[in-house]
Amino acid sequence: GAVVSQHPSRVICKSGTSVKIECRSLDFQATTMFWYRQFPKQSLMLMATSNEGSKATYEQGVEKDKFLINHASLTLSTLTVTSAHPEDSSFYICSASVGRSKETQYFGPGTRLLVL
Amino acid sequence: GQQVMQIPQYQHVQEGEDFTTYCNSSTTLSNIQWYKQRPGGHPVFLIQLVKSGEVKKQKRLTFQFGEAKKNSSLHITATQTTDVGTYFCAVEYGNKLVFGAGTILRVKS
């Protein structure tokens, strides 16, 4: 099956710093990648949809200047949390699909971010 | 926006008992997907249902899609400790998936 990797798996940073999370599709080309955030014991909340070579589409309430998304190639998308604050601490998960839609998504292992 | 209600939020069963989680939508769905997330892990795709009244089985898991394509269920027969985790349904809304709140399953051995 399709494999998606995410790096780092866990990060602890000081308030005010920026953190970059990478999402890679290892054995397929992902036209579309999705970024989710999940708080403890809650569901996945879509943050943004990113298509290779174009600007990401952000969900309502998600600040695009705070959560910078770059999808420079068909196998790599990055999420940068800029000027992180403790309330940004969460589990960030990316997923990838082959087509330009919401069809079967393959999830990365997630990144646990703790901002002190 | 599109919402899907999932119940129960939490279920604690004795090993060997059955378990069911339900998802309901107020609108007709084109399809519905089910995912499992183990504690500390990430969601893993289980199945997609497309046809009205569809029933699919994966070993001890039975997935159903309602005749009106507005509801779906996941039933686990004779739960095992390996079944613990959170089960999510997900529905399409535009070009994205919207996830239900999830049902946390705990199994006592």
Q: Any chain B CB within 8 A of the CB of A18?
A: no
B17 touches A at CB < 8 Å: no
C-alpha–C-alpha distance, residues A40 and A86, integer Å: 14
Question: Which tokens sit at A74?
Answer: 């068909």
Write the DSSP symbol of residue A64. T
**Minimal Cβ distance to A46: which of B33, B48, B96:** B96
- Return d(Cα A111, Cα A55) in angstroms, integer: 22
A52 pLDDT more than 90: no
- Is residue A102 predicted with pLDDT exceeding 60? no
Predicted pLDDT at A101: 46
Strand duo A10-13 + A111-115: pairing: parallel
Up-side HSE of residue A91: CA atoms within 13 Å toward CB? 18
| Closest C-alpha to B60, from B44, B40, B81, B42 | B81
Interface touch B42/A109, C-beta < 8 Å: yes
Residue A72's pLDDT is what?
A: 82
Q: What is the mean pLDDT of residues B72-93?
A: 96
Backbone φ and ψ for B82, nearest 5 degrees, come out as -75, -10
- Asked if pLDDT for residue A89 goes beyond 90, the answer is yes
Per the document, the length of chain B is 109
- CA atoms of A70 and A63, how far apart (whole Å): 14
pLDDT tens profile A72-81: 888 999 999 9
For A32-43, the pLDDT digits (tens) are 899 999 998 899
Q: Is B98 on the interface with A (CB under 8 A)?
A: yes
